[in-house]
Amino acid sequence: MSITQQSLNVSFIGNKPTSGDGNLFHAFAPARHENLADEFANVSPEQANQAIEKAAAAFPAYAKLTPAQRADFLEAIATEIEDLGDELIERAVLESGLPTGRISGERGRTTGQLRLFANVLREGSWVDARINPALPDRTPLPRVDLRRMLIPLGPVVVFGASNFPLAFSVAGGDTASALAAGCPVVVKAHPSHPGTSSLVGQAIVAAALETGMPDGVFSLLHADIDVAQQLVAHPAVKAVGFTGSRAGGLALLRVAQERTEPIPVYAEMSAVNPFVVLPGAISQDTGPNSAVTVAAGLAASITLGVGQFCTNPGLVFLLDSPKTSVFLETLTEKIRSSAPATMLNAGICRNYQKGVQQNRIIPGVHVLAEADVDAEDSQTQGRPIVLSTSAAIFLSSSALSEEVFGPTSLIVVCETEAELVECLTTLEGQLTATIYATPTELTQSETDWVSLLQAKAGRVLFGGYPTGVEVSEAITHGGPFPATSDSRSTSVGTGAILRFVRPFTYQSFPNELLPLALQNANPLGIWRNVDGKLTQSSVGS
């Protein structure tokens, strides 16, 4: 596929490349700390409405496609993205400041999750078909025929994320899961990587044309904040996917709840992902249960991707022990030898510096370690830093439990188990929580550590490091508020499809009018719940 400079600077309203009628802005290269020559135009309110109206018009036809047809579409998107080749990688590196290897891996994750959802569609059991055949002779009352399955909600608005220009952006997990569910998608591109977004948008449109999708099944819009909120308020929109700041997510939630018909906003917003270390986990001099090993791995997790992962371990709780000093010394050494690196954009870099400064001036908070090399403002760099404090100071200042997005963490040393429990109890909802301990410590402790952390997070790790999310069937990437706006959902993995569907029951329908998933013969061959038993057999056989 050949992408022209003209097509790079456009939005897509359905299949049509469109120049925006709104205000102009430039792409930004953070590693150079300068605007690029490309000039992008945001869409006008009228153009945004056109995109939603096209999505609404496409919905009935798209929702009725067979699972195999939607799977073909997702697989075609993956292929078209791969066919963009080096141009996509180079543009994403330029606009994000992320290294080539990271972007290449992220492209693989993006295409991989598209194909994963295609596999989900082809297998088909995700629709949760439930059938209660009619029992006309039942006494004292007969039973009518009832058949239930999950059906798509309708048009979905997706907001691209800043920290994953591919995997959480235009063709990312929100888009892939919504399209798999049968919902047209309107993506609001993130202004940090508009060129990357336009390239991927063109790939999706090409795939839609290739596979005969209805016009309007996908749109890509460059839009300002006012138009973005307008998209959420449009009465044809039925759900929203968002990854970003707490302030941004809450603003969209307010708009969605103030509508005549409130709609779900699946917002991933903020997390500090507590990392708890009990004495037994660092009691050895060498090996996996040594202070040196655990601290070195923690330092790598804190600085990975310049700390710009939503699962970055921003809070570390140590129960004081003879090996605490070794742990802190190792962490200090590793952080000091780490290097500043380019952050995603100038705003994120400024907010990182501001957040670190606000915490380090709190009385009783100390700088444990800072990278020996200064950050270069000319390269939009963030400098790794780890702060430390006591449990008493942590409990006295709520600001210390707030997310600082970047390569930093706060170490809280607790003198007693009761202090540690109190610190953990005060935390808000998180995406992850990690506990380093021996099995004996967990089974013999008066504290139920797993239940305590389970109440706070969507995923609890026994050992290991939270940075890194496997895209799979069993993953949960969500958690209690404010990690996400709905703790019953995940934004990663095959379970993400369930955000964009609702249960629906057909009562007393003729067999030939039922969806294939509910027909007697089970032509899709899927697993179904028939009178309380899972089976692939036909009804009445």
Residue spans of alpha helices (H) in 289-379: 291-303, 324-336, 346-360
Cα 540 from Cα 419, distance rounded (Å):
62
Residue of 273, 169, 163, 298 lying closest to 222 (CA atoms): 169
* Amino acid (one-letter) located at 134: A
Q: What distance lies between CA 476 and its chain's CA centroid?
A: 10
* Contact in structure between 469 and 492 (CB atoms under 8 Å): yes
CA angle in degrees (0–180, nearest 5) for 330-437-424: 90
Cα 133 from Cα 510, distance rounded (Å):
12
Cα 413 from Cα 432, distance rounded (Å):
20
Cα 83 from Cα 312, distance rounded (Å):
32
Catalytic annotation on 268?
yes
Q: Which two three-digit tokens encode residue 31?
A: 């590693």
Residue 462 CB-density burial (10 A; 0-12 exposed, 13-18 middle, 19+ buried): middle
168 secondary structure, DSSP code: T
Residue 218: what are its φ and ψ, rounded to 5°? -145, 135
* Contact in structure between 243 and 161 (CB atoms under 8 Å): yes
Strand partners, 241: 158, 266
Residue of 13, 139, 467 lying closest to 272 (CA atoms): 467
Cα 211 from Cα 489, distance rounded (Å):
30
Residue of 161, 157, 230 lying closest to 191 (CA atoms): 161
Catalytic annotation on 470?
no
Task: Please tell me which residue in 268, 419, 428, 441 is annotated as part of the active site.
Answer: 268
Cα 323 from Cα 278, distance rounded (Å):
10
CB 450: neighbour CB atoms within 10 A?
14
Cα 217 from Cα 204, distance rounded (Å):
10
* Contact in structure between 33 and 51 (CB atoms under 8 Å): no
Task: Please tell me which residue in 310, 349, 414, 423 is annotated as part of the active site.
Answer: 310
207 secondary structure, DSSP code: H
* Contact in structure between 62 and 218 (CB atoms under 8 Å): no
* Contact in structure between 527 and 518 (CB atoms under 8 Å): no
Cα 171 from Cα 110, distance rounded (Å):
7
Strand partners, 200: none
| C-alpha pair distances (Å), 111 with each of 108, 114, 116, 165 | 5, 5, 9, 13
Residue spans of alpha helices (H) in 124-172: none
Cα 175 from Cα 342, distance rounded (Å):
28
Q: Known catalytic residues? A: 268, 310
